[in-house]
Amino acid sequence: MNANSTVQFGVIGCGGIANGFHLRDLQQIDGVRVVALADVREEAARRTAENFKDRWPDPWITTAPEELLGRDDVDAVIVATHHETHAGYGAAAIEAGKHVLVQKPLTTDMAHADRFVETADAHPDILVQCLPYNWNNAVRKSVELMGEGAIGKPVQARMRVAHPGPSRDSWFYDPEIAKFGASMDMGVYAVSGITTLMGSAASASGLVGTFEEGVRIDDAATWLLKFHSGAFGTAETSWTSFASTEGTSIWGTEGVIALNAPDGNRLKVYRRTSGVSFGSKGEWSTPELEPEPTAAPHRHFVECIRAGVQPLGTPRHARHVVEVMLAAHESSRTGNRIDLHTTF
């Protein structure tokens, strides 16, 4: 493909995430066509087609995802189904020769995650992007600053991503369908984000629990991580967060990086300028960041397809995040610290 090529998409799963996120973003990108929709509920696919008919008239509709994967006019596939099915549909898309963008989390099962990575490795010409997409400009700049030694040796990091929870009548609260609750649904952002900044984790312990009345699935989780670099980190999530108190900080031997700071700045950096201990002095700065492009994750995916380069958000990173998330449940159940075996 070249920079002006039209990229034709098929979408597997036509629920709220596909409509409110994936298709909403794709319609903002020039040179993109949605040509096929698949959902086991035909009415969901037809409703989705109606929602976007002004942008993409008359997409082909099926209740059988494998039929969508067999179409010659589909260049790339978005998988937006239930959590445990992402890796299976994603691997099938890769084997069908389709570039694939997989909704988070990659899966809820390590065997499925391993097969997905093996399939991606066996098809290096197929481009694969796994969400969440963590490479916003503030994160990119933070990684750059740490690489330059701006805060000395990174020692500790903390990231919290949480919200009040999905609609109580949704499948997210059904253990038979979702398998896991907030730890997978929102924890994936905190775990993938902190590992994007700090690298692979070597071990993890965690606490997972349920606090709201009538909820049958976990609604809060905390991870304590040790990274291969030797630094420590905590990741937090919940469905019981009714005010925006999220934020990310990285503490080093010479300073601090704060992302999404409480004062509204997307990125602030504190650098020690003199002294040590209580006698130290330093100053805050606010690095200038480029504006984020609209529909950034999907735009990145489309640009990578046109350029023929692998996207950020790799299968190996997505698998590592799954292992970390599952480790919290094992640790919470057993009281043990869990050694991790995957890296990215």
pLDDT recorded at residue 32: 98
Indicate whether 179 and 101 sit together in one domain: no
Phi, psi of 328 (to 5 degrees): -60, -40
CA distance 310 to 42: 33
Q: How confident is the model at residue 103 (pLDDT cuts 50, 70, 90)?
A: very high
pLDDT recorded at residue 286: 95
**Which tens digit of pLDDT belongs to each residue from 204-249?**
999 999 999 999 999 999 999 999 999 999 999 999 998 777 889 9
pLDDT recorded at residue 277: 86
Is residue 179 predicted with pLDDT exceeding 90?
A: yes
Indicate whether 263 and 124 sit together in one domain: no
Residue 259 lies in a domain: yes
Indicate whether 258 and 238 sit together in one domain: yes
Contacts of 170 (CB under 8 A, 6+ apart): none
CA angle 322, 323, 329 (to 5 degrees): 95
Q: What is the mean pLDDT of residues 71-97?
A: 98
User: Per the structure, how many domains does the chain have?
Assistant: 2
Q: What is the mean pLDDT of residues 324-334?
A: 98
pLDDT recorded at residue 97: 98
Instruction: Round the CA-based radius of gyration of the chain to a whole number and report it.
Output: 21
pLDDT recorded at residue 323: 98
pTM, 2 dp: 0.95
Indicate whether 144 and 204 sit together in one domain: yes
Indicate whether 265 and 298 sit together in one domain: no
- Strands annotated E in 161-308: 201-209, 220-227, 232-238, 247-252, 255-259, 267-274, 281-285
Six token digits for residue 230: 């030797």
Do 128 and 94 form a contact (C-beta atoms < 8 A)? Answer: yes
Six token digits for residue 37: 């929709």
Six token digits for residue 257: 């990086």
Give the CATH number of the domain where residue 298 resides.
Answer: 3.40.50.720
Residue 344 lies in a domain: no
Six token digits for residue 3: 């920079």
Indicate whether 158 and 23 sit together in one domain: no
**What domain range is 211 assigned to?**
137-290+323-339
Indicate whether 188 and 113 sit together in one domain: no
Q: How confident is the model at residue 190 (pLDDT cuts 50, 70, 90)?
A: very high
Give residue 252's region: left, alpha or beta (phi > 0; psi -120 to 50).
Answer: beta
pLDDT recorded at residue 306: 98
Indicate whether 95 and 209 sit together in one domain: no
Do 178 and 116 form a contact (C-beta atoms < 8 A)? Answer: no
**Which tens digit of pLDDT belongs to each residue from 255-270?**
999 998 767 789 999 9
Residue 223 lies in a domain: yes
Average pLDDT over all residues of the chain: 96
Give the CATH number of the domain where residue 233 resides.
Answer: 3.30.360.10
pLDDT recorded at residue 262: 67
Phi, psi of 190 (to 5 degrees): -65, -45
